[in-house]
């Protein structure tokens, strides 16, 4: 959520930002906010005047009674009662106007960084840089589901019986490789100066609306029936929520944390679920990173964060690229975002394995996360980035380490987590 001062002082800039995101239907919200804000400030001023008058009159009552002027005191009491009635109606108006403003402010997109490329959707995202040479071997690489099944590591048929489409069983050495990737991601982030955490896997609605837009919530989140709780779609939600309504000491910034969690997503949208493979699912596991920092430091940390994901995948022999998200593909709370995409030698193209985002003070403003400076309290900036999400990250590792005989070489960095195992071989 942006500062309402921006709308008061520069509504045309806010409208131009909306246009660049191709959300013209939201332009009317700016004018509506200005109108309700004017009414709200008028009501607030009226309320202040009424309270001042009431206090002035109330202070006279005791003196009049003391001086034996009971009739005059009763008249003033009647005036106070009338003011109280008027004040009650005025407070209802203030509450109504505030709710109308907030409901619209929550839909206004954050002001994008000037460097964000303008484009309508993800087809217009911009490749910035490649890391590692994308190779295609001279032998065929089967579909990742076929590779994993041949290794005795996948059973989606049984998962279909227990849970339906979008779920899976990982088995044997493949399941162990999956956990090795997550364990390595944990240690990798700890070694890079992040504090490790395992957060709650369910959060309340006020945290959900603090960390994401309504559109994202409806498309992603599973709600627990008869409870004010939602299953998290990523641990960023509960990790940022950890600091809700907190005044963080300036000397504690930056706060750098990395968290493990299972993730649950409806996956409603154009992509749909992949019945055969492990690319888009209702359930997966993830190592995440978040940073809370001073506003002037957030872009510097943004660049450091996505590079951590690049180096992580490169250490496992996976070529990757950085893809800048264009304006139309940028979620409303974000000022800048990029994807890290891994090379698929089977498809001979890249696919997303991580996403890095700078949200400036949008989440902090919604959740009330501030720090104290010389000139008073102000909102911190929040950032988040995927270290690895598996099994999706597992696909990239398996394809890029697949051998002609059907085996998969375990990247050297993962072998200590696999009991020294160097290869996973097909089951006869």
pLDDT tens figures, 58-92: 878 777 777 888 888 878 888 888 899 999 999 99
The pLDDT confidence band at residue 274, using thresholds 50, 70 and 90, is: low
CATH of domain 122-424: 3.30.930.10
Q: Each residue of 133-181: pLDDT tens digit? A: 999 999 999 999 999 999 999 999 999 999 988 899 999 999 999 999 9
Model confidence at 275: pLDDT above 70 = no
CB distance 147 to 394 below 8 Å: no
Q: How far is CA 68 from the centre of its chain?
A: 67
Would you state the pLDDT for residue 270? 42
Model confidence at 321: pLDDT above 50 = yes
Q: Classify residue 242 by burial, with Cβ atoms within 10 Å: 0-12, 13-18, 19+.
A: buried
Which of helix, strand or coil describes residue 418?
helix
The rounded distance, in Å, linking the Cα atoms of 98 and 105 is 10
Domain with CATH 3.30.930.10 in the chain: 122-424
Alpha carbon separation from 106 to 6, 26, 63, 212 (Å, rounded) = 14, 11, 50, 10
Would you state the pLDDT for residue 6? 94
Beta strands in 44-151 (DSSP E): 126-131
Task: Give me the mean pLDDT over the 258-281 stretch.
Answer: 77
- What is the pLDDT of the chain when averaged over all its residues? 93
Q: 207-218 burial string, b = 16+ CB within 10 Å, else e?
A: bbebbbbeeebe
Range of weakest confidence among 27-36, 74-83, 326-335: 74-83
CATH of domain 4-105: 1.10.287.40
Task: Give me the mean pLDDT over the 406-426 stretch.
Answer: 97
Domain with CATH 1.10.287.40 in the chain: 4-105
Model confidence at 374: pLDDT above 90 = no
More confident residue, 56 or 314: 314
């Amino acid at each position: 959520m942006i500062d309402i001062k921006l709308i008061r002082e520069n509504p045309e800039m806010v409208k131009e930002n909306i246009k660049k995101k191709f959300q013209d239907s939201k332009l009317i919200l700016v004018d509506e906010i200005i109108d309700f804000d004017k009414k709200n400030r008028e009501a607030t001023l009226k309320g202040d005047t009424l309270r001042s008058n009431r206090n002035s009159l109330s202070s006279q009552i005791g003196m009049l009674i003391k001086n034996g002027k009971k009739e005059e005191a009763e008249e003033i009491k009647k005036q106070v009662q009338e003011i109280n009635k008027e004040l009650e109606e005025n407070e209802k108006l203030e509450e109504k106007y505030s709710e109308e403003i907030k409901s619209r402010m929550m839909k206004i997109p954050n002001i994008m960084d000037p460097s964000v490329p303008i484009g309508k959707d993800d087809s217009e995202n911009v490749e910035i840089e490649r890391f590692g040479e994308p190779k295609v071997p001279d032998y065929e690489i089967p579909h990742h589901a076929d590779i994993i099944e041949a290794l005795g590591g996948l059973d989606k048929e049984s998962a279909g019986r227990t849970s339906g489409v979008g779920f899976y069983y990982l088995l044997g050495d493949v399941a162990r490789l999956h956990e090795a990737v997550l364990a390595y991601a944990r240690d990798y982030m700890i070694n890079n100066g992040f504090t490790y955490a395992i957060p709650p896997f369910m959060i309340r609605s006020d945290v959900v609306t603090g960390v994401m837009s309504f559109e994202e919530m409806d498309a992603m989140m599973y709600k627990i029936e008869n409870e004010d709780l939602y299953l998290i779609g990523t641990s960023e939600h509960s990790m940022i929520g950890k600091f809700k309504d907190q005044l963080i000491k300036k000397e504690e910034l930056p706060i750098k944390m990395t968290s493990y969690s299972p993730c649950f997503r409806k996956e409603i949208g154009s992509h749909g679920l992949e019945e055969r493979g492990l690319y888009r699912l209702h359930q997966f596991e993830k190592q995440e990173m978040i940073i809370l920092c001073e506003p002037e430091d957030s872009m510097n940390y943004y660049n450091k964060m996505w590079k951590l994901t690049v180096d992580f995948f490169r250490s496992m022999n996976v070529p990757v690229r950085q893809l800048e998200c264009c304006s139309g593909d940028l979620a409303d709370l974000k000022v800048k975002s990029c994807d890290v995409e891994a090379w698929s030698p089977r498809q001979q193209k890249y696919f997303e394995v991580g996403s890095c985002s700078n949200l400036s003070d949008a989440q902090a403003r919604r959740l009330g996360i501030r720090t104290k400076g010389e000139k008073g309290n102000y909102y911190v900036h929040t950032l988040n980035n995927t270290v690895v999400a598996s099994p999706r990250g597992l696909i990239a590792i398996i394809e890029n380490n697949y051998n002609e005989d059907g085996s998969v070489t375990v990247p050297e960095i993962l072998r200590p987590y696999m009991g020294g195992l160097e290869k996973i071989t097909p089951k006869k």
